[in-house]
Amino acid sequence: MAVLLTLFIPGLGHLYVRAYYRAIPWFVLVVAVTAWIATVVPAPETVSVASLVEMSQAIPIEAQVVSTSMTLVAALDVYLIVQMEEGSVGEDATRCPSCGKDIEEFEDLDFCPWCTERLE
């Protein structure tokens, strides 16, 4: 799900997996690339489907490559974040039966600190 959100808007998937400090640079990069594209492509005089198609065809190939590669790298980044979170907990670790997160370091608690589910 996070990768799909990132393919829609780079940084959105990072927010979904709560990687806030990684989401901020991706949003800034999206704004910077969009501003760069806006300076390269002339704005249409009227807003119509034909003018939007004409404007999208006027985007240089360099801008398309930068935008697409930025989106793909952001998707790869969020995919690796999710894989690290899933793989960071070993097989022998104690997990919460409700949310599945690692609770080994919180064994003295009678609830999960992540989802507040009572532990037995």
pLDDT of residue 91: 54
Neighbours of 48 (CB within 10 A): 10
pLDDT of residue 74: 93
pLDDT of residue 56: 85
Largest CA distance in the chain: 67
pLDDT of residue 45: 83
pLDDT of residue 88: 56
pLDDT of residue 92: 55
Map tokens 């492509």 to a residue.
41
pLDDT of residue 80: 92
pTM for the model:
0.64
pLDDT of residue 40: 84
Using CA atoms, how far apart are residues 83 and 71, in angstroms rounded to an integer? 18
To the nearest 10°, report the CA torsion of 65, 75, 88, 92: -130
Q: For residue 59, what are the CA distances in angstroms to 6, 28, 35, 46? A: 22, 21, 13, 18
From first to last of its 120 residues, what are the pLDDT tens digits of the chain? 888 988 898 889 999 998 889 999 999 998 998 898 888 888 888 889 998 888 888 888 998 999 999 999 999 999 999 888 876 545 556 788 888 788 888 878 888 888 888 887
Using CA atoms, how far apart are residues 80 and 71, in angstroms rounded to an integer? 14
